Amino acid sequence: MFNDILISFGLNVSEYTIQPFGSGLINHTFKISNVNQAYILQQINDSVFKHPGHIDSNLALIKQYLDETSPGYLFVAPLKSQTGKSIIQSADGKFYRMFPFIEGSHTVNFLQDTREAYSAAVQFGRFTRLLNNFDINKLEYTLPDFHNLKLRFSQFEQALQTADDEKLKQADDEIKKARGYIAILHTYNKFTANSEIKLRVIHHDTKINNVLFDDRQNALCLVDLDTVMPGYYLSDVGDMMRTYLSPANEEEKDLGKIVIRTDFFRAIYKGYMSEMGTILTEAEKKYFIFSGEMMIYMQGLRFLTDFLNNDIYYGAQYEGHNLIRAKNQFKLLEGYINAGPLFKDIITGVDKELLATTNDI
């Protein structure tokens, strides 16, 4: 397995151990290692990413820009093969990339404390800040309409038309909830129509295992860059809210374990704004709290839609898996909305703190 791929990078398969790596739902990832060296090999899911070349050209352009403008920044771009290609097609037509394994790094699947949330938020904010003057028109949309809530809602409505009766019955409560939160879609439409809201270079998948940490819990760099493309900052902040605030993640079946940790909200706000505070427009800042509503709602809709569509996108490890995931996300959304007034107080407090530090200088 992978013989031809490894050869194109000048590696001999017999000298390496190959193990599945990470927990992504879309691409397949492997660690290729021996005592001296380690790499990450990733097979791109080309039924999701229809043009793997778009990922490649985006990352090459960004790498070149960052090398010139921020030489010390650690950007983990794919390695080049012996013939200079950073994307390789195997004999059976699949697409692969090879990355260096960052020495001394590890990933975390559950946040232990707010320092990790702060440090990750700094990294995601820094990435968008460093690319603030990069011309986004040069980038391809690797997944067109990826975080387009309007489209996600219409995909949900479409699924309601085609789903079988049994599934519609099982999902009745969640379908009602999905419709009940329609105001979130209206706010999203208002947001996207506002000319002061900017498209920026956005990561689009900010869950904690897409950040590499050192052993002192400092975030080193970002990985899983396939969805780097133009987008709204709400996507990155909102997905941090979705995945950092609750100690239980989207797989949790015991909904009682889904709670909102407001100190993690504070860490995300402080970390992200320490990088992006002077860059975001006032109009954009007003939607900071809304980011979580938008992303949690969207993920709930996506899981529910997939349940109704017989799990064609996310797959399912057990019967009803995507329905449980949708229930989980709607529970999280409820808690998030209830915590809104507390979030507002936190923002006011942190803004005062940040202002005091600026005045000191």
Binding partner selected for residue 25 from Mg ion, ligand GN1, none, CB under the kind-specific 5 to 8 Å limit: ligand GN1
> Which two three-digit tokens encode residue 295?
């992303």
Binding partner selected for residue 299 from Mg ion, ligand GN1, none, CB under the kind-specific 5 to 8 Å limit: ligand GN1
CB of 42 to Mg ion, least distance (A): 11
Binding partner selected for residue 268 from Mg ion, ligand GN1, none, CB under the kind-specific 5 to 8 Å limit: none
Residue nearest to Mg ion (CB): 205
Looking at the Cβ atoms of 16 and 188, the one nearer to ligand GN1 is 188
Inter-residue contact 61 to 138 (CB < 8 Å): yes
CA distances in angstroms from 96 to 40, 41, 43, 271, listed in the order given: 10, 7, 4, 34
Task: List contacts with ligand GN1 (CB under 6 A).
Answer: 24-26, 48, 205, 224, 227, 250, 299
CB of 168 to Mg ion, least distance (A): 30
What gap in Å lies between CA 188 and CA 152, rounded to an integer?
A: 12
> Which two three-digit tokens encode residue 329?
């996300």
Q: Within 128-187, which residues bind Mg ion (CB under 5 A)?
A: none
**How many C-beta neighbours within 10 Å does residue 73 have?**
12
Looking at the Cβ atoms of 239 and 273, the one nearer to ligand GN1 is 239
Binding partner selected for residue 74 from Mg ion, ligand GN1, none, CB under the kind-specific 5 to 8 Å limit: none
Helix 262-276 vs helix 233-244: crossing angle, to nearest 10:
150
- CA nearest neighbour of 188 among 298, 299, 303, 281: 298
Q: Give the angle subtended at the CA of 152 by the CAs of 46 and 273, to the nearest 5°.
A: 90
Which one of 116, 205, 252, 293 is in contact with Mg ion (CB under 5 A)? 205
Inter-residue contact 76 to 99 (CB < 8 Å): yes
What gap in Å lies between CA 275 and CA 271, rounded to an integer?
A: 7
Looking at the Cβ atoms of 27 and 170, the one nearer to Mg ion is 27
Binding partner selected for residue 322 from Mg ion, ligand GN1, none, CB under the kind-specific 5 to 8 Å limit: none
What gap in Å lies between CA 25 and CA 45, rounded to an integer?
A: 10
What gap in Å lies between CA 275 and CA 270, rounded to an integer?
A: 9
Q: Within 220-259, which residues bind Mg ion (CB under 5 A)?
A: 224
Residue nearest to ligand GN1 (CB): 26
Binding residues for Mg ion, rule CB under 5 A, total 2
| Contacting range for Mg ion; rule: CB under 5 A; set: 123-131, 166-174, 201-209, 342-350 | 201-209
Looking at the Cβ atoms of 22 and 277, the one nearer to Mg ion is 22
Is residue 293 close enough to count as binding Mg ion by CB under 5 A?
A: no
CB of 298 to ligand GN1, least distance (A): 9
DSSP reduced 3-state for 30: strand
Inter-residue contact 314 to 228 (CB < 8 Å): no
CB of 227 to Mg ion, least distance (A): 6
DSSP reduced 3-state for 309: coil
DSSP type of residue 147:
T
Looking at the Cβ atoms of 24 and 335, the one nearer to ligand GN1 is 24
Looking at the Cβ atoms of 8 and 27, the one nearer to ligand GN1 is 27
Binding partner selected for residue 306 from Mg ion, ligand GN1, none, CB under the kind-specific 5 to 8 Å limit: none
Inter-residue contact 300 to 330 (CB < 8 Å): yes
Looking at the Cβ atoms of 119 and 227, the one nearer to ligand GN1 is 227
Q: Which residues bind Mg ion (CB under 5 A)?
A: 205, 224
